[in-house]
Amino acid sequence: MSENLASHLSAKSLLENPVLNKGLAFSKAERDAFGLHALLPPAVRTLEEQLKTARMLFDAMESPFARHIYLRSIQDSNETLFYALIASDLETMLPLIYTPTVGEACQRFSTIWQRPRGLFLSYEDRENMEARLAHTAFDDVRVIVVSDGERILGLGDQGAGGMGIPIGKLSLYTACAGIAPQHTLPILLDTGTDNEARLADPSYIGSRHKRIRGAEYDAFIEQFVECVMKRWPHVLLQWEDFAGVNAARLLARYRDQLCTFNDDIQGTASVAAGAILAANQASGKKLSDQKIVMLGAGSAGVGIARLLLAAMEDEGTPHEEARQRFYMLDKDGLLTAQRMETLDEGQKLFARDDWSDAKGDLATLIEKIDAAILIGVSGVAGVFSEEIIRNMARKTERPIIFPLSNPTSHAEATPEDIMRWTDGKALVSTGSPFPPLPHKGATRRVDQTNNSYIFPGMGLGIIACRAMRVTEAMFMAAAKKLAALSPLHQDPDGNLLPPVTQLRDVARDIAIATALQARADGVCAGFSDDALDGMIDQHIWSPQYKSFNKARS
C-alpha cells in the first residue's frame, strides 16, 4: 500500500517520527525522494530481517528490566517494528511491556526517560493546559489513558514515574486490539508526590512538591476533563492507577459526561467476573449458589463484587439474597453494620448485619463458612496461608482462588502453593504472570486474570461504534463473552482463560460484544448486525510498513 507524505516533511523529521520511521527498511526510491541517503547506512532491510536482528539483541539481554528498556527504545524510534516484535511473541513480551516489569519501570522512570512520549500536564502549568493539548500531532487521538501516579500497582505513589502505566496500557490497546498507535495518547497529571524518596532523588523528573489535595485537586481534574471534552468530543478516556480515595468518586462524577471508565475498578471487575463465571460453570452450579470471600475492600474489590452481584441478579436471584453471598474484608476485618460510619458507599453495600463473632478476620471467616470463591485484591503478599487454603479445600470440591494483587511480589499466595495445599483441585488465576506448573505428568500454564483480556477489545468496540458512554452492562457483556471463550468448555480439565497468544482474537470477540451492548443500551448510533464486522475491522491496524511517495507540491 502506498501513501503520500506532505511535501514539507523533512528527512530528519521523517526519521524522528516513530509512527513513520522505517529505519533501514526505507527503499532506495524512498531514500531518493526524501533525501535519506547518508542519513542511513547503505544497507536496505525488510521488516522480517529487522525483526531477526531485534530479537537477537533482545535475547542477549540478561534481565526483564533491561529488556523493557530495550523494547521502549524501539517503540520510541520505530513503532511498526516494536509492535511487530510484540506480535511475534506476545506471551514473552506482555509481562515486559506491562505487569510485572512496568512496576520497576515506574519506580526507575526518571533514570530511564530519554524521549518524549505522551503529555505531562503539571498543576503549575494549569493555565496553559488547553494550549498543551492543542498540538496538531494529537488531532486524531481516539483513546487516552490518564494517571496521576498516586497508586501504581501495589507500589504506591510514584509521581511522574506513573507515566509508565499509561504508556504500557496503550501499548496493549495496540498490541492486543490493533488500535493504531497514532490514535492513542498517554497523559500524566502531575499534581506532585508524597513519595519522599522521589522528592529527594536528584534525577526525579516530576514536580518537586507534596501532592495537591482537596478543592485544588478537584478543580485541576475538572479543568482537564473539560479540556479533553472540548478537544476530542468522541474520545475514550481511561482512568488508571488513581488512589482509592479518588478513583471511585472521579468515575462517579464523570461517567455520564463523556465516554470514560476506570480500568482498575471496571476492567479488573470484568476480567475477574469472566474468569469466575467460567470457573463456576465448570462446577455446574449457579454463581448465586456460592459464597464469595473478598479480601480487599478498595475500589477494585468493590468493583468485582458489584459485577458478580449483577451476574447473580441476571441469574434471577433477588438482590438482597444475592448480596448475602458476599463476605468482604479490609485491613480491619469483615465489613459489618457496626462499622457503617467508617465505610464508603460501595463498601456499605456489602457490609453484613449477621456477624456476631468478635473476630472477623480471614482465617476465622473461612473456618465458619463454606466459601467456594476466595478473591484477593489486598496487596498483602502471602496472606492466603496454608491453613486458610486447606480449610477451603476440605469444604469445597473445587475451590476457586484468585490472588489478584500486582505486581507478582504482592500476590496473596503463589499458584504453586495453592495447588499443593489443595491437592491440585483448586481453580486458580492470578493478577501477574507465574511460571507453568506440573499437572498430570505435563505442565500447564497458570491463568492470569489480566485486564488485557477486556479493555483493549472494549476500546476497539467503543471506537468502532462511536459509543458516547461506557455502561456497566458493556462490562458485563465483555465478562460473559470472556467466560464463553474459556477452554473449560472443550476440556473440563483445561485452563480458565484462553492463552495470551490468542489475545487478538479475544479482543475482536470482546469488541463485538461491547458494540452490541452499546447499541442495546442506546449509547451509540444504530448499525446492522451485518455491518458490525466491517466496522470493527476498519479500526484494526497491523504492524506492516507502508510505501511512501513524496507528495507533489
Active site residue 98: yes
95 CB burial (10 A radius; 0-12, 13-18, 19+)? buried
Angstrom distance (rounded) from CA 444 to CA 437: 5
Gap between the Cα atoms of 91 and 85, Å rounded:
11
**Could you give the CA distance from residue 117 to residue 287 in angstroms, rounded to a whole number?**
44
CA distance 330 to 298: 8
Distance of alpha carbon 47 from alpha carbon 49, whole angstroms: 5
What is the distance between the alpha carbons of residues 180 and 184, in angstroms, rounded to a whole number? 7
Q: Contact, 178 vs 86, CB < 8 A?
A: no
Start-to-end C-alpha separation, the chain: 21
Q: Cα dihedral sign for 221, 222, 225, 228?
A: negative
Task: Name the active-site residue from 22, 169, 480, 481.
Answer: 169
Helix ranges (H only) for 201-344 are 214-231, 244-254, 268-283, 299-314, 319-323
Q: Are 54 and 111 in contact (CB under 8 A)?
A: no
Distance CA 318, CA 300 (A): 24
φ/ψ of 79, rounded to 5, equals: -70, -30
Between CA 472 and CA 394 the distance in angstroms is 36
Long-range CB pairs of 215-220, under 8 A, 24+ apart, other chains included: 216/123, 217/191, 217/246, 220/123, 220/126, 220/189, 220/191
Helix (H, G, I), strand (E, B) or coil at 327: strand
Quote the cell numbers at residue 219.
478543580
Place of cell 482537564: 224
Q: Which helix (H) or strand (E) covers residue 13, if one does? A: helix 11-15
Does residue 169 have an active-site annotation? yes
Q: Residue 394 — φ and ψ, nearest 5°?
A: -70, -25
Could you give the CA distance from residue 478 to residue 454 in angstroms, rounded to a whole number? Answer: 7
Strand partners, 143: 184, 236
437-439 and 427-430 as β-strands: parallel, antiparallel, unpaired?
unpaired
Determine how many CB atoms are found less than 10 A away from the CB of residue 520: 13
Residue of 22, 83, 98, 453 with catalytic role: 98
Q: What gap in Å lies between CA 235 and CA 469, rounded to an integer? A: 10
Residue type, 296: G
The residue count for the chain? 553
What distance in Å separates the CA atoms of residue 478 and residue 402, rounded to the nearest whole number?
A: 19
Strand pairing partners for 438?
A: 443
Catalytic residues: 98, 169
